[in-house]
Amino acid sequence: MPRLCCDFCGRETDRVRRVALDRDYDRLGVRHAVRYACDECSRSKDRQRSGALDGGAGAA
């Protein structure tokens, strides 16, 4: 199985997840740069989004 590369940290991994970075993300209406994250970076992005949604509480 080919190794994949995280677009955020550059780490090689067996699995990546697609990450949407735009605040008003519309996957059909606007062309977005496709970026992929390893599990660790994906969890970090989720925490950042959660903090932004609840006014910053819990943001790292």
The better pLDDT of the pair 28, 7 is held by 7
Cβ 2 vs Cβ 31: under 8 Å: no
Convert the pLDDT of each residue in 13-59 to its tens digit: 999 988 766 666 666 666 667 789 999 999 998 888 777 666 655 44
SS3 29: coil
Q: What is the pLDDT of residue 45?
A: 84
Q: What is the pLDDT of residue 46?
A: 84
Task: Determine if the pTM surpasses 0.85.
Answer: no
The better pLDDT of the pair 17, 60 is held by 17
Amino acid present at 8: F
Q: What residue ranges do the domains of the chain occupy?
A: 4-53
Amino acid present at 47: R
